[in-house]
Amino acid sequence: MELTPFMKSLGLKYPIFQGGMAWVADGKLAAAVSNAGGLGIIGAGNAPGDVVEAEIKTAKSLTDRPFGVNVMLLSPYAEDVVKVILAHQDSIAVVTTGAGNPGKYVADFKAAGIKVIPVVGSVALARMMERVGADAVVAEGMESGGHIGKLTTMALVPQVVDAVKIPVIAAGGIGDGRGMAAAFMLGAQGVQMGTRFLVATESKVHPNYKKAVLKAKDASTMVTGDFAGHPSRVLKNKMAKKYIKLEKAEALKDKPDFAELEELGSGSLRRAVIDGDTATGSFMAGEIAGMVHKEQSAAEILQDVYQQADKLLSGKD
């Protein structure tokens, strides 16, 4: 399977991005993915600039290959994170963005030789990102873990491909070579995976989190936060079920109050990733969690996915 010129420009062996998952995607995981030939991405999330800088330095100490940083633009520290990225432009090949418009940063990133690849959930947003100068977009369907949009990957990707001239990377519901091959047939030039890397040996997530992913079945996820306008896909547990119950109760009120929901959700991802708290943690994972059956190194994950996709697309035995 031949890489496209865009993927070659990133210095990749495999056209596979590792999702920039908050609290999960640290410098160690990003370096492992990059060393294995994919694009490792550090997830800034809501972390302050100095925390993100420490992860960038960790990645730089572990790999001499390009890696990326995901910037959540609604974070109160977004400006500081951008400054940190620009200070380390020698190593950072890509910035992916979410939760906002990166337009005001695009010129500075490009001047630093950093490619800008926003995550989008609609054709309208993809077109907007193309207009502000994005180099590519990640079209992410609602099958993904964490914060989601309204369209499925199968419906979203080909429509985005038809709507923009820049490269499209498919994400959401992709966990093996079959998903990657399907994404290529839909017109994508690469894929982004998050859930599969949750159980990478280099992933720092708590053993309870990894165990929950490995035990997941096809219907093990649910969407919380839909009523409040911030839908997020998570594995079913006590916290998620309590959240849904409270949401439904608030929906029946004339004047909904989100205070209790905000309190319940505050810090829940950290409690899952770091503490492994199965009762009050938010175990974000995509619908392909039911396809993840073993813990592997980042290198093994990349090789397995790529080889299966290559076999399917080339017709090799």
Residue spans of the domains in the chain: they are: 5-203+292-314, 217-284
List Cβ neighbours of 283 (8 Å cut-off, separation of 6 or more).
209, 212, 213, 234, 235, 237, 240, 272
- The per-residue pLDDT string of the chain (317 residues; one tens digit each, 9 = 90 and over) reads 889 999 999 999 999 999 999 889 999 999 999 999 999 999 998 899 999 999 999 999 999 999 999 999 988 999 999 999 999 988 899 999 988 889 899 999 999 999 999 999 999 999 999 999 999 999 999 999 989 999 999 999 999 999 999 999 999 999 999 999 999 999 999 999 999 999 999 999 999 999 999 999 999 999 988 877 788 999 999 989 988 888 888 777 777 676 777 777 788 888 998 999 998 899 999 999 999 999 999 999 999 999 999 999 988 76
**Which pLDDT score is estimated for 23?**
87
Residue 156 CA to residue 138 CA, distance in Å, equals 11
**Which pLDDT score is estimated for 317?**
63
**Which pLDDT score is estimated for 312?**
94
**Which pLDDT score is estimated for 263?**
75
Residue 140 CA to residue 120 CA, distance in Å, equals 6
Residue 141 CA to residue 210 CA, distance in Å, equals 23
Assigned fold of 5-203+292-314: TIM Barrel (3.20.20)
Residue 194 CA to residue 263 CA, distance in Å, equals 26
Q: Which strands sit side by side in the sheet containing 115-120, from one edge to the other?
A: 16-18, 190-193, 168-171, 137-140, 115-120, 92-98, 67-72, 41-43
pTM, full prediction: 0.92
With beta carbons less than 8 A apart as the criterion, state whether 38 and 12 touch.
Answer: yes
Q: Angle at the Cα of 151 (from 230 to 198), degrees rounded to 5?
A: 65
**Which pLDDT score is estimated for 251?**
72
**Of 61, 74, 72, 1, which Cα lies nearest the Cα of 32?**
61
For residue 28, the Cα-to-chain-centroid distance in whole angstroms is 16
